[in-house]
Amino acid sequence: MQARIFITLFLILVVGMADVAAQSVSKTGTTAGNFLKMPVGARSAALGGAVAASVNDPSAMRWNPAALTGFDRPEVMLDHAELFASIRHSYLGVVLPINGNSGIGLNITAMTMDDMEETTFDRPDGTGRMFGAYSYAAGVSYALKLLPNFSLGANVKFINETIWNTSASGIAFDIGTTYVTPFDDIVFGVSVTNFGQKFRMLGDDLLIPADVDRSSSGNNSEIPANLDTDRFDLPLGLSAGLLWHAFDTENMRVSLMASGQSPSDNYQNLSVAAELAFLNELITFRGGIPEIGLPQEDRMYKFALGAGLKYSFGNNLALDFGYAYQQHEHLGGTNRISASVAF
C-alpha cells in the first residue's frame, strides 16, 4: 500500500515537472551568483541533490531550512570540495535546536580560487600584476514546527561576488516547508531558494577616461567615468521532493527519494536517489542521478555516489563523516568531503 502511494506521488511529481518543462525556455548562463547552486554536504551531493524532503544535517540551510526542526541537539558541519582550475567550494553550518520545536542556524558558503595574472591586448602573456576572485554568502536561518508533522523555515543571507576591485552584493531569502504524511511517514518537502534583488558589478576596475564632448577640441578628454553594467537576477529555484523509508530496521534501512527542480535559469528537471544504511546508521551508501530531463548541453552532472560513517559516543557526542563523488557532464569528476559533530 505504501509503495503504491509513493509511486503515485512520484508520478505526479514527474508529470508536473514535464508539463512545466514543455512550456519553458532555458536561460542558462543568464544569472549572477551561480555558486549558490552548488551542492552542499557530502550526503546531499551523493544523493544528486534529491533532498528537498530528506536533508537531515546542517546543509539543510542550503536545501530546505524547514528541516532545522529535525535536530535534537546542536550540530556543526564543515564541507569542502576541490573543483576545477584551482577552484574551491566550502561550507560551514551551525544548528542550535530550541525546545524541540524550533531551530536556528548560521551558515557560510564560499567559493575561492588561486590568484591569476592580469593579461592585456598589449601583453597577452601577462603584466606581472596578480588579481583574485571569490564569492561568499553568509546567512541566518530559523525554522518552527507549526504542527507536529508540518514545519516552516527561512534563511536570509548576504551575498557577495568580487573580482579584483569590482564586486556585487545583496540580500536573498530561502524558504521551505516539510510535511510528514500519514502514509507510512512519507515526507513531502518544498523549498524556494535565492529569492532576492538583482546584482550589478560596481568598482574601480570599471573607471575609464571619457571625452564627454568630442566636438570640442579644448575640453578635458579624460574625465573619469564608469562603465554602465547590467543587472542580473539570482538563480531563483523551486524544489519539491519526496522521501520514503521503504525498509527500516535497526540493522538496515533503505530510503528512496526524488526532487523536482524548477530553476529560473534552466529547464525543469528531476533528481532521484537511494540510500542504504547498515548497523544502526553506522555505515551508509548513497547514489543519485541528478538533472534528469535536461538536454546534455545544459546538464552539470551525470551521476553521484558516496558513503558515510557515523559513530555515536553515547548520548553526548556523535561524529559523522561523508564522501561524495560527482561525475560532471563535461569536466570530469570531483570529490567532496564533509564532517559533522553533534553534541
Are 170 and 159 within 8 A, CB to CB?
Answer: yes
Nearest-angstrom CA–CA distance, 60 and 154: 11
* Start-to-end CA span in the chain (Å): 38
The DSSP code for 181 is: -
Quote the cell numbers at residue 95.
Answer: 544548528
pLDDT, tens digit only, all 343 positions of the chain: 555 554 555 455 555 555 444 445 667 777 999 999 999 999 999 999 999 999 999 999 999 999 999 999 999 999 999 999 899 999 999 999 998 899 999 999 999 999 999 898 889 998 999 999 999 999 999 999 999 999 999 999 999 999 999 999 999 999 999 999 988 789 999 999 999 999 998 988 888 888 777 777 767 777 888 888 889 999 999 999 999 999 999 899 999 999 999 999 999 999 999 999 999 999 999 999 999 999 988 888 999 999 999 999 888 899 999 999 999 988 889 999 999 999 9
pLDDT at position 74 is 97
Question: In terms of DSSP H, where are the helices of the chain?
Answer: 2-21, 42-46, 60-63
Q: Is 216 helix (H, G, I), strand (E, B) or coil?
A: coil
C-alpha to C-alpha distance for 51 and 63, rounded to whole angstroms: 7
CB 40 within 8 A of CB 62: yes
Total residues found in the chain within this entry? 343
C-beta of residue 89 within 8 angstroms of C-beta of residue 334: no
| Top-level class of domain 2-198+233-342 | mainly beta
Task: Give the separation between CA 288 and CA 256, rounded to whole angstroms.
Answer: 10
pLDDT given at position 314: 80
The domain ranges of the chain are 2-198+233-342
- Residue 217 exposed, middle or buried by CB count within 10 Å (0-12, 13-18, 19+): exposed
User: Which three-class secondary structure state does DSSP give residue 125?
Assistant: coil
pLDDT of residue 22: 47
Secondary structure (3-state) at 210: strand
Interatomic CA distance for residues 146 and 101, integer angstroms: 9
Determine the pLDDT at residue 185. 81
Counting Cβ atoms within 10 Å, is residue 276 exposed (0-12), middle (13-18) or buried (19+)?
Answer: middle
Short-list 197, 158, 151, CA closest to 176: 151
**Confidence (pTM):** 0.87
Question: Can you tell me the distance from the alpha carbon of 326 to that of 322, in angstroms, rounded to the nearest whole number?
Answer: 13
Strand partners, 103: 97, 143
